[in-house]
Amino acid sequence: NLQRLDGPVRGNGKIIQELEAAFRGAGWNVIKVVWGSDWDPLLDADVDGRLVKRMGEVVDGQYQKYTVSDGDYIRKHFFGADPEVLKMVEHLSDHFLEVIRRGGHDPEKVYAAYHAATNHKGAPTVILAKTVKGYGLGEAGEGKNVAHNQKEVNLNGLKQFRTRFALPISDAEIEKLPFYKPAADSPEMQYLKERREALGGFVPQRQACTERLDVPALQDKLFEAKPLLPGSDGAPGSTTFALGTIVRGLIRHKGIGSRIVPIIPDEARTFGMEGLFALCGIYSSKGQLYEPVDASSAMFYKEARNGQLLEEGINEAGAMGSFIAAGSTYANLGLNMVPFYVFYSMFGFQRVGDLIWCAADTRVKGFLCGGTSGRTTLNGEGLQHEDGHSHLIATTVPSLRSYDPAWGYELAVIVQDGLRRMYAEGEEIFYYLSVYNEDYVHPPMPERADVVEGILKGMYRFSSTDSGAGQTQRPQLFGSGTILREAIRAQQLLKEKFDIGCDVWSVTSYSELRRDAMDCQHWNDLHPDQPRRTSYLETTLAGIQGPFISTSDNVRLVADQIREWMPDNYIVLGTDGFGRSETRPELRRHFQIDAECTAWAALRGLANAGAFDKARLPQILQQLGIDPEKINPLNA
């Protein structure tokens, strides 16, 4: 309709011709419906092409002006620019020139275009139909820049609308704003009923399939692979590698393998997931018409018509489109698909956040996997690649469950439970998993009853050291992702250098802890006469004095989101500020999230509680090698 919300789409140009060029250049069949039937006699009489020439000269902004102008103005400024063209309309009234229709408002022209489109073979068809924004509103907004903001129509405008569309409503009735419904036996009503019946009912409905997938149990052999439940047996590996192990195992699984949709926007080798090339192939409608340069390699770039992996060519928006399509098949195609979209962490929420919200709005299922996560873990690539805030943005998406696992077994537990919830129980949720490219040894899953529950609910106690002589309070160190290892190292440092025992907690999801706490708070707020419900976080930390120290590769607000339900003396460390091209140790010292800074925070917390001699702190700061004059990384 030539208009966007504030003004013309191309006031100084012609959007229809612009779109025509784009579609024709792409090989599409283009049908333009620009002028209504009332123009046909004029065009038939235009033997020398003067009228067509004039039509081509006028830009869209001026056509919008003609829409709101009277016939005299149109006659003088449109037709009057060429005396021969002006003669063509001398027999037509000003009123006729005012109401002469654009093609998109002529049912016969629209029908002819649709008929031609449905019968065209060999190429897709686009119909470019010219219309007027606010058509039928008359003075109230037809063709005007304010049409989008029009909130009411006055009585005169209602009468104009009524008369223009021949609605059988009297002047006396029009003030009551009656609904007009044609008679039940009218052609209009008969047609509408026929179409609704053919389309499956009178109210559009979302029909989610009842299919439930054969989800592998946590005891399945695929989760027994290293470095998952049994750990890595002394061999270093990353959580990104662990994710690849899970995806490969799922593709091989007889019950669910054919439903797995791995999606990668061109970083499979970076993620160590090139094994998928040989395992399932890269989907291509043309197969592979060339010999790849790495054909002699076991993990060569293998394209195939029956390929399962979607490689999107550095196109995160396209990859999200594939994720949404695969994740919504249960509601659109009647079967469940399980997409795993693995991307450079910074190019997820940062780049396609709107499409992630669209995915939530569409109620998709599946796993978004932020590879190479962490502001200090993906080191050496500068501020544009080092992600520390995706988990913060993830908290804004209602149906998204986000986790920041440190160990392979944590990732296995989370993925298995996600599969159960989404595809065995039918929950309409999806997941965000941050995985890292730092190699380290993964321990086996502890054989304690509380571990699986803790992983899924958001936190569990990972390790403890004995309290020292005379120690009255025990620091509680929270770690997430790869930075959990800095918390463990801080635990050792506190014991070895200061004889202070403490507990280390693996916090897999601050957002899940917050979600559970908010659920309890909501119930408590509305049930003052009932016993108070206690959140998992409050129950888990009940009776523990602290201080509580959180460290992670995320900005501080990620861990700060649970502060409302935390005991006092909660100190949060994080990676607020831009990234740097440096080594991991240097970056972690820069952001003050390493073991020494974590231990320092614990000592400060003890001193604040009167459980440690504050006079010793300046010397300890020097002993730990922390520069008291270093710049605040937030401002660096």
Note every long-range contact of 104-109, with CB atoms under 8 Å and residues 24 or more positions apart, other chains counting: 104/1, 104/33, 104/129, 104/130, 104/131, 105/36, 105/131, 105/132, 105/135, 106/33, 106/36, 106/37, 106/38, 108/37, 109/33, 109/35, 109/36, 109/37
Q: Provide the domain limits for residue 239.
A: 221-441
The number of residues in the chain equals: 636
Residues 427 and 305 placed together within one structural domain of the fold:
yes
Residue partners of 627: CB distance under 8 A and separation at least 6: none
The whole-number pLDDT of residue 146 equals: 65
DSSP string, 42-71: HHHH-TTSHHHHHHHHS-HHHHHHHHTS-H
Rounded to whole angstroms, how far apart are CA atoms 418 and 609?
Answer: 41
309 and 338 assigned to the same domain: yes
Residue 275 has pLDDT above 90, yes or no: no
Q: Are residues 237 and 357 in the same domain?
A: yes
Please tell me whether residues 131 and 232 are part of one structural domain.
no
In sequence order, what DSSP letters do the residues of 409-470 get, joined into one string? HHHHHHHHHHHIIIIIS----EEEEE-----EE-PPPP--THHHHHHHHTEEEEEE----TT
Residues 268, 396 within the same domain: yes
Q: Is pLDDT at 289 greater than 90 in this prediction?
A: yes
Q: Flag whether 371 is in a domain.
A: yes
The token pair at 608 is: 């604040």
Side chain identity, residue 636 = A
Query: 533 with 605, same domain?
Result: yes
% the chain with pLDDT above 90? 82
468 lies in a domain? Answer: yes
Instruction: Tell me the one-letter amino acid at 404.
Output: D
Q: Each residue of 214-240: pLDDT tens digit?
A: 999 999 999 999 999 999 999 999 999
**% helix, strand, coil for the chain, step of 5:** 45, 10, 45
Does residue 574 carry a pLDDT above 80? Answer: yes
Q: Are residues 578 and 520 in the same domain?
A: yes
Quote the CA–CA distance of 403 and 424 in Å, as a whole number: 20
Interatomic CA distance for residues 35 and 131, integer angstroms: 9
- 269 and 146, same structural domain? no
Q: What is the mean pLDDT of residues 446-474?
A: 96
Q: 415 and 495: one domain?
A: no
244 sits in which H/E element: helix 239-252
> Which amino acid is it at 272?
G
How sure is the predictor about 266, in pLDDT bands with cuts at 50, 70 and 90? confident
Q: What is the CB-side half-sphere exposure of residue 276 using CA atoms within 13 A?
A: 34
Instruction: Give the residue-averaged pLDDT of 444-450.
Output: 96
Q: Are residues 408 and 323 in the same domain?
A: yes
Do residue 169 and residue 315 come from a single domain? no
The three-state (H, E, C) secondary structure of 96-153, written as one string: HHHHCCEHHHCHHHHHHHHHHHHCCCCCCEEEEECCCCCCCCHHHCCCCCCHHHCCCC
* Domain assignment present for 448: no
- Per the model's pLDDT, the better-predicted residue between 297 and 440 turns out to be 440
Residue 412 has pLDDT above 80, yes or no: yes
pLDDT range class, residue 136, cuts 50, 70, 90: confident
Residues 225 and 117 in one domain: no
Distance CA 435, CA 267 (A): 14
Write down the pLDDT at residue 145: 66
| pLDDT tens sequence across 45-78 | 999 999 999 999 999 999 999 988 999 999 999 9
Tell me the sheet residues that pair with 311.
264
Tell me if 127 sits within 8 A of 113, measured CB to CB.
yes
In a domain, 1, yes or no: no
- Domain end, chosen from 381, 407, 441, is at 441
Q: How many domains does the chain have?
A: 3
Query: Across all residues in the chain, what is the average pLDDT?
Result: 94
Q: Give the domain CATH number at 553.
A: 3.40.50.920
Residue at 213 is within a domain = no
In a domain, 291, yes or no: yes
**Kind plus residue range of the DSSP H or E element containing 357:** helix 349-361
Q: Which two tokens stand for residue 187?
A: 């052609």
Contact present, 310 and 322 (Cβ < 8 Å): yes
Residue 47 forms part of a structural domain:
yes
Give the count of beta carbons closer than 10 Å to the beta carbon of residue 296. Answer: 8
Kindly report the pTM of this predicted structure. 0.87
The CATH number assigned to the domain holding 391 equals 3.40.50.970
Q: Is residue 212 part of a domain?
A: no
